[in-house]
Chain A
Amino acid sequence: DAGVIQSPRHEVTEMGQEVTLRCKPISGHNSLFWYRQTMMRGLELLIYFNNNVPIDDSGMPEDRFSAKMPNASFSTLKIQPSEPRDSAVYFCAASRYNEQFFGPGTRLTVL
């Protein structure tokens, strides 16, 4: 099993541009989580899905952020428009029972 796959691994963009981060969870793991990590705020949960349905999006910072999970094998996190303060490492994680498996993360830099 390849584990959780995230793409791209690195993204550099300019302020105002749309950014889309992608995640392919582990097959059969029906919960999916998006986290953001910065030095200032640590690791924060943005949103999570169970069986492709968003359960808790209270961590999504503002309307510029949106997440979708159209099927069990794919999820996206979109930022539109992006701002420099969105620069962070974004992690996707998948879970079936108690353990969450994290992907390698996407390092986003907004100039």
Chain B
Amino acid sequence: DAKTTQPNSMESNEEEPVHLPCNHSTISGTDYIHWYRQLPSQGPEYVIHGLTSNVNNRMASLAIAEDRKSSTLILHRATLRDAAVYYCILQRGTGGTSYGKLTFGQGTILTVHP
């Protein structure tokens, strides 16, 4: 499986934008880029995913580099509830759909200051 590299931790202030980077230089053409987050004492929660184009949803935006070797998860206005571990994961896709298997790394611990 292709690997991802994320900073161990990041800090932000409440109501400010947060840009969480992820490097995935060995990504293959069929790999989808997924982001999940895990709040304290909870199971992981899906945030967003994409293949080539930038994506937006109600939680966040995903900016994917043109060569797909890196991506950035953007939280437009951080809140205290966004404090969590954020995981960037590559998921093998076939036939236009994700294949299912996720391999979690260590993720980025995001701290949000009031």
A binds B: yes
Q: Does B68 lie at the interface of the complex (its beta carbon under 8 Å from any beta carbon of A)?
A: no
- Chain B interface size, as a band, is 20 to 34
Kindly provide the distance from the CB of A23 to the nearest chain B CB, expressed in whole angstroms: 12
B87 / chain A contacts, CB cutoff of 8 Å: 43
Q: Does B17 lie at the interface of the complex (its beta carbon under 8 Å from any beta carbon of A)?
A: no
- Chain A interface size, as a band, is 20 to 34
Partner of A101, one of B42, B46, B97, B101: B46
Q: B51: nearest residue on chain A (CB-CB)?
A: A98
A31 / chain B contacts, CB cutoff of 8 Å: 100
List the count of A-B residue pairs having beta carbons below 8 Å apart.
Answer: 50
Q: How far is the CA of A98 from the CA of B49 in the complex (A)?
A: 8
Q: How far is the CA of A98 from the CA of B97 in the complex (A)?
A: 7
A103 / chain B contacts, CB cutoff of 8 Å: 43
Q: How far is the CA of A12 from the CA of B33 in the complex (A)?
A: 37
Digitize B85-105: 1 where CB-to-A-CB distance is under 8 Å, 0 elsewhere.
001000100000110111111
Q: Does A54 lie at the interface of the complex (its beta carbon under 8 Å from any beta carbon of B)?
A: no
Q: Which of A13-21, A65-73, A75-83, A89-97 contacts B (4 or more CB under 8 A)?
A: A89-97
Digitize A31-51: 1 where CB-to-B-CB distance is under 8 Å, 0 elsewhere.
101010000001111001010
The answer on a CB contact under 8 Å between A97 and B97 is yes
The answer on a CB contact under 8 Å between A105 and B100 is no
Kindly provide the distance from the CB of B50 to the nearest chain A CB, expressed in whole angstroms: 10
The answer on a CB contact under 8 Å between B46 and A99 is yes
A residues near B, CB below 8 A?
31, 33, 35, 42-45, 48, 50, 55-56, 91, 93, 95, 97-105
The 3 closest A-B CB pairs, nearest first, are A102-B43, A43-B104, A98-B98
B residues near A, CB below 8 A?
32, 34, 36, 38, 42-46, 49, 87, 91, 97-98, 100-106
* Other 19 A-B pairs with CB < 8 A, given A44-B104, A91-B43, A98-B32: A31-B100, A33-B100, A33-B102, A42-B105, A43-B38, A43-B87, A45-B101, A45-B103, A45-B104, A50-B100, A56-B101, A91-B44, A93-B44, A98-B49, A100-B100, A102-B43, A102-B45, A104-B43, A105-B42
